[in-house]
Structure 1
């Protein structure tokens, strides 16, 4: 046989056994965010978004565990079919099939394992079975149930519909959803009550958000304005990108390890969303826009904070109660999981977000501390005029507690989905 023929055969064999050079789990986590935030769906409320990511990463981990004795390409193919099928299951009523199919089709050449080979067929079957297992476990978890909501009296601190928001709050049933990783009764994490109306901390928070959270604020710095803008995106997708930045390519060839980390992260985020909704609908606290636009003098000190024309920077105000801030709860949960994996708080993490509100454009932030990122995430909602400060602080604490409990239960209960 000629040398040229040997070279060609060697190149062909190498190509056949090639694998995707990046982290396949990161790829599918990003695809999940893109699909949820794309033009077809246009974003989801916080609990369903976190729930979907947890289902995706759970299916990925199941496929990774079942395929870990195979080649890297074999594992990547199994994981990809698991992610594809669970995404189609989660969004099958949204005309999103083409987008999900395109995400799989675009990665298959890089994985390089032909679907019609024995290995290819086995890996595909593993992925499909993994997705089916998660779908079955989550088919009746409470997320699809109807739970009605009736607004309370229009008294100070009582939650009401916000201007421009949906007529009814988002997904009130989410507080009853079965947690991931066998976490059990979510009400044990419920945050303590917010400050009382008579507390000075309450009045201070109202005065503060009125000044720095207004659309036309004269006291908010340009940096703080951009903080509100860059964190406006779903905190779930942002914290996954922060995780990508911290993890980098260190787990690219360790599919099962990568799958475990991202399942831990997204299980914790999903559980944090359930816990946040439990707290929100227990206290049903009003949003800043309702408090400030109220026309009477309602503060016990008789300070008049009324401004019926007041508009928050981030608009419209989301359609659910103020306390606690779910954005902040996500920050507390995600930072706890990443900190545990990282072995400490110090990081070098960068993320960017394309801010369409007010045509602000692409903004980028770099953090050297996970605690710093979580606090700025929470603070962004005050700069945006949509949360009181105390809602953010309590949210971080809630998310941290839920994440640590999720990590404690994870190894024994991750596959209960």
Structure 2
């Protein structure tokens, strides 16, 4: 299983200048290669290399850096075509799709650049790296990371690492090939997880991961964005981008902590995890305008993906179940009635009279469905006796 580990570089002023100039140089070269690729109908990588490699070398790029620039451009066009085929750019002939396909792919001046082991070497004991730059090899560039990240780098780092410049700081994002733990297939019980907005996640154990703090944070950011958008100056636009990245990092950190808690609980108690399948929820659900912002700003997919990869590392089974009527069905007697949901937070069964928090009741239903789905899947994999 591939994961990425990020470290923050701590270069000296001279090293920082060299790294900044390197990113500008490779992305200017990438834009030149992109024009050639567009004019020639996006040829294969080998043919693109034949038309551009000599020019890149004349621009002062090293052999490996030139190869990576060409590959980066080719990958960008591959991603563009994949998005077009998937409909992510709109229908054929739409303004957005026409605009994307009618001009060469452009690279930002400080877009990320990949480095392989010939351009970048790690000295993990001293926490330094040696990296190629247009000013020559930079040795002894210090980096900082957590002890856990250092352990992952030491044991599992494989392949390329990307140099990233973000908000004035340099980072290296390394690819790590982490082995998956053996899957615990003999589980019979599941930890159900109900995802929401007020409570981000509620488990069938009754644990509620409240979203009040995150929602307050998002409300403050929304008010600040409106002020900056009304101002409209260049400095306001720069601050808008910076605040957007900060908000995304904050939400990702919350998702990481919640997913870690869920997976740790399931692993400790010997259970699997049952998640709602919320694919296409933004298209299915209809809300008032004031509720749409909260729904569309929360990343259910990100939280589910964090739970998924952490479950793989721990060997915890994960199943996704249909969430239909889980909020209306009684987890005690199975009675389903729209009136069971007396309010957003209260579930009161009209048949047996049980009263629970609505999200807790839904998560218990999800847990049962997860166990049923897992048992059915295991039976389908067991060969029948002759």
TM tier, shorter chain?
Answer: under 0.3
Name the one with the larger helix percent.
1
Q: Structure 1-normalised TM-score?
A: 0.25
Name the one with the larger strand percent.
2
Q: Find the structure with the greater CA-based Rg.
A: 2
**Larger relative CO (CA 8 A, sep 6+): 1 or 2?**
1
